[in-house]
Amino acid sequence: MLGEAVSRAVFWTVSVAAVLPAAGFVDPFTLGAIGLGSAALFGYKLLSCKMSECCDTQWIPANFSRLEQDLSVSMFGQHLVRELVLSAVKGHFRAAIPKKALTLSFHGPPGVGKNYVAQFLMDGLYKMSHASQYVHFFSGKKHFPLQEEAAIYRMHLQDWVRGNVSNCGRSLFVFDEVDKMPRGVLDGLKPFLDYHKQIDGVDFRKAVFIFISNTGGHLIIKRHLELWASGKKREALMQRDFEYLIREGAFNEKGGFHKSETIESDLIDHYVPFLPLEESHVKLCIAREFRHSGVLRPHEDHITEILKDVTFGPPGSMKFSSTGCKRIAQKVVALVEKLRPDSDPL
pLDDT band at 51 (very low <50, low <70, confident <90, very high): confident
**pLDDT for position 45:** 61
d(CA 4, CA 341): 63
d(CA 101, CA 197): 10
How high is the mean pLDDT of the chain? 88
Q: Across the chain, where does the E strand assignment appear?
A: 102-107, 135-139, 172-176, 208-213, 270-273, 312-313, 320-321
Task: For residue 253, give the DSSP letter.
Answer: S
Task: For residue 271, give the DSSP letter.
Answer: E
Nearest to 279 by CA among 248, 310, 251: 310
Nearest to 241 by CA among 261, 258, 260, 221: 221
d(CA 60, CA 56): 6
Class of domain 64-273: alpha beta
d(CA 34, CA 25): 14
pLDDT band at 50 (very low <50, low <70, confident <90, very high): confident
Q: Which residues pair with 174 in a beta bridge?
A: 137, 210
Per-residue pLDDT at 205 exceeds 80: yes
Task: For residue 322, give the DSSP letter.
Answer: T
Q: Which residues pair with 270 in a beta bridge?
A: 104
The domains of the chain are located at 2-51, 64-273, 279-342
Q: Which residues pair with 103 in a beta bridge?
A: 209
Per-residue pLDDT at 298 exceeds 80: yes
d(CA 338, CA 334): 6
Residues 186-207, mean pLDDT to the nearest whole number: 97
Q: What is the pTM of this model?
A: 0.84
